[in-house]
Chains A and B, each alone.
Chain A
Amino acid sequence: MSDASSRVNDFVIRFANVNGTGSASANGLFAKAIYRMGIPVTPKNIFPSNIQGLPTWYEVRVSEKGYLGRSGIVDFVVAVNPQSLEEDIASVRPGGYFLYDSSKPLHRVMMRDDIHFLGIPMMTLAMKNFTQPREQQLLKNIIYVGALAALLDMDMDVLRGIVAQTFKSKEKLIGPNNLALSIGYNYSKENFKCPLDIRVETRDLIGDRILMEGNLASALGAIYGGASVMAWYPITPSTSVASAFEKYCKRLRKDPDTNQNRYAVIQAEDELAAIGMVIGASWNGARAFTATSGPGVSLMSEFIGLAYFAELPAVIVNVQRGGPSTGMPTRTQQADLISSAYASHGDTKHIMLIPSTPTECFEMTAEALDLADRFQTVVFVMSDLDLGMNDHLTPALKWDDARSYDRGKVYTSEDLENMEKFGRYLDVDGDGIPYRTLPGTHPTKGSYFTRGTSRDEYARYTEKGDAYVRNVDRLVKKWQTAKSWMPKPEHLGNENQNNLGIIFFGTTYYAALEAMEMLQDEGISIDALRLKSFPFPEEVQSFIDNHDEVFVIEQNRDAQMRTLLINELNVSPSKLIPILHYDGMPIPATDICTKIVAHLSVNALRNDSL
């Protein structure tokens, strides 16, 4: 057996479960306990497009150093799914551990001699101690959490504390859950040498961070940002944005006197209707948003063009998944960049904000509502499945109570009263952004006809070429104005130490940070820029200009962000080297590191031979 050195707070544990058997709460209990012990933790759900029966995994990375990306290596597997046993045994690194339900013996051919097998008769223990079949199945999961507590030296009080808190309103469940924890704990103590060389130790490394999903954070961002109308159609992985919005609105958006709602959530008949409702509500002055994923954006594209051209605010949270077509609905990708940036027919482009953390999902969704009103256009929040549906260790959410909403340029009744003539598409301020009016504002002034067909500055229908050109050129001016309103990219690297740079964005953040440290260990110092928006602020052009080679790391096949950079900036394509990962799993740091090192070695060889 290799790797006998002790690994404290530095390992990956993978739970192999059957979908729909209640494993999620047991696994969540495990991750929460690590978090409460003060150790950085990243859990990831790896789940099928299925409700019941298919294999599902939950991968938890424990990292004293605070690495929050996926490692790609599995040190420990907890296997309670016979369907995936073979695959699960194969996934353990040499010297790692395989904990399984030994109620039925493992077949000899499955055994590996380079890993440790830990058998616990979980189902037998559950049947012995609990009577109801459903209870036996659920608590079998808690038994393995108890076993892990002994094997990994976890704090049982922390676990019991979480159980007590979880079942605060269903007190009779506390006893059986604690019993299950103890059964697993005691079995391990009696049958194995505890703790193992892989183990945890209490730390204080969390600071003011919480463990939250991006979708929930986006929903809260929409509530704090003032969205009062939400229209949506169910689609993985965005659905939980809508359900969280409604759940928290019920708590936070009730009129205290009448108990009536200060919000409306409409489950539309399809994505076309969902975006239509958002546009209708925005046109009429309410803040509105929708959440969807790639296929939904495809369906919304006609309406997105209307909103762009007629200049109406709309916020779309795009929780990206693997495409094209139905693709991999339960796997992550950053593959909707081009289809969102240029959604719809004709000359269109749209603002995109790109969060990397749930905290940014919160901030950017609120920000998107401001920007949509300010620029009277569609704003995408480009999340992804990894960010949206997994818990992430993220700074606590903050809101400045003194902050007011930027409702953009909207004429009031008084403004109209003092005005000679209202022109809906007049560039009054020279920034490309016109003033709008809301229906019902003034009895005789300010009405206009909103349409997707060409019109003049006074919203009068026209097919005259020069009026059309004036209008679409003004839209470009508006786009230029938007650049200076975008969140600045984050500069993360070692500036000017050499000529290498990396550009990344969204959930690639976590792996990129870790990869930078790995490269540093190999003596490769690299400058880094994290993008947060489209259009690109000036800093992006200068970052690329200041380096000879820039690696663009992204989670799609076609290097879509690289294409956007080439398309929108003045850059030589040969300068931008794509580093791509697109198997549907979050990108691991080792992958980035290996590909960059390989590229540099090839270049070094080439230079040597010259």
Chain B
Amino acid sequence: MSYVKPVFSHPELPANKVGYRKRDYEGAISTLCAGCGHDSISGAIVQACYELSIEPHRLAKLSGIGCSSKTPTYFLSNSHGFNTVHGRMPSVATGATMANKDLLYMGVSGDGDSASIGMGQFVHVIRRNLNMVYIVMNNGCYGLTKGQDSATADFGSISKGGSQNHFHPIDLVGMALELRASFVARSFSGDKKQLVPLIKLALSHPGFAFIDVLSPCVTFNNNVGSTKSYEYIRDHMEYPAPPDYVPKAKEITVDYEAGSGTTVTLHDGSTLRLDKLAGDHDPTDHLAALRRHHEAVANGEILTGLFYMNQESQTLHQLFNTIETPLNALTERELMPGQTALEKINQSFR
């Protein structure tokens, strides 16, 4: 890094409920290309955490390898971070979650990291409904190794070098829906208005919250003919259910006309209102989510927003019936059964 981010921030910028200013949620200056979609997503994560009044040290950020996975350096400096190995962040997150159920876990991955080398871990972490937010910064290419097509590149999409992709894409949203992920959303790095509430909602969801964020690669995949360029995405984007997150501490505000949307109550008692742009999509209806997704694929639309959320979602800790105290806080007293018990075991092998 050749330059340093200024630490100055305006003294009158407001603090949130836990006394932190937005600056406290920021990270080191980004070393990604200027205009990279990923930086906007980092910004949205900062905004969401600030607005939700999350104490930064109560969140752990994890990533795999690639441009996307570098971003945890660029947000939440006061949080512990773990840049793991390529495609294997879900397993590290699983172990971390098992060790301490009381922290929030923010996983960041890319399309290479999740749809190729890490596909095995991606589908299994969905299956386990790990209590974490899992963001894929999806640009359809391998940025850090200079622009090779990834497995999410669309059929027929043209690369910067002019070659056409002959393979059908692995659609991570479709896959997450098929696997019954308990929370499935898609957004666009350029649409902070939609992305910030989605991240807030995901952070409040007990279970695996997946957000596929289309995030154009300005250097290698923003050309004419690419289906992951800013221009193409803006032209083809549709909103099935843009959410607005309302924490339970607040009254539901009257930003929306009564009767024009759907209200969803979350586990922690907070509510989500889907405004009228949502049309008739009910994000608690799994079958409907699948149908909307398939229709959009058939029509060449890029659907964004909340596809599905299971309100009965049970976390892995609930399924495992682990104790309330985080496992990493247990001491000899709780972990070590003692010589008397051992002598009983010995006796059964005599």
Binding site for B on A (CB under 8 A): 35-36, 210-212, 220, 223-224, 226, 228-229, 231, 248, 252-253, 255, 258-264, 266, 268-270, 272-288, 302-303, 306, 396-401, 403-405, 437-444, 447-453, 461
Contact = CB atoms under 8 A, between A and B. Distances in A.
B96 to A, nearest CB: 4
B58 interface: yes
A273 B83 contact: no
Contacts of A397: 342, 345-346
B323 interface: yes
Contacts, number: 225
A400 B83 contact: no
Given A284-B60, A285-B100, A447-B78, A276 B349 contact: no
Contact of B332 (A273, A279, A281, A404): A404
Nearest to A220: B345
A405 B332 CA distance: 7
Given A263-B322, A275-B91, A447-B81, 11 more contacts: A210-B349, A262-B323, A272-B121, A276-B121, A284-B99, A285-B328, A397-B345, A398-B342, A448-B81, A451-B82, A453-B83
A266 B323 CA distance: 16
B72 interface: yes
Nearest to A451: B83
Contact of B88 (A231, A272, A449): A272
Contact of B98 (A220, A266, A303): A266
B98 A286 contact: yes
Given A229-B327, A439-B80, A443-B55, A285 B349 contact: no
Nearest to A287: B335
Nearest to B340: A401
B333 to A, nearest CB: 10
A304 to B, nearest CB: 10
B287 interface: no
A262 B327 contact: yes
A447 B57 CA distance: 8
Main secondary structure of the interface of B (DSSP, over half): helix
A81 B251 CA distance: 77
Interface string B52-74: 00011110101000000000110
A288 B95 contact: yes
B29 interface: no
A277 B83 contact: no
Given A279-B92, A284-B60, A286-B100, A449 B72 contact: yes
A188 to B, nearest CB: 28
B5 to A, nearest CB: 13
Contact of B350 (A210, A276, A404): A210
Given A280-B91, A286-B99, A261 B339 contact: no
A284 B323 contact: no
Interface string B7-50: 00000000000000000000000000000000000000000000
Nearest to B80: A439
Contacts of B78: 443-444, 447
Contact of B349 (A211, A284, A399, A461): A211
A279 B128 CA distance: 18
B268 interface: no
B124 interface: yes
A210 B348 CA distance: 9
A208 B343 CA distance: 11
B80 A447 contact: yes
A259 B336 CA distance: 16
B253 interface: no
A220 B343 CA distance: 12
Given A262-B335, A444-B57, A280 B96 contact: yes
11 contacts: A228-B330, A277-B95, A280-B93, A281-B328, A283-B99, A284-B103, A285-B328, A285-B329, A286-B98, A439-B96, A450-B82
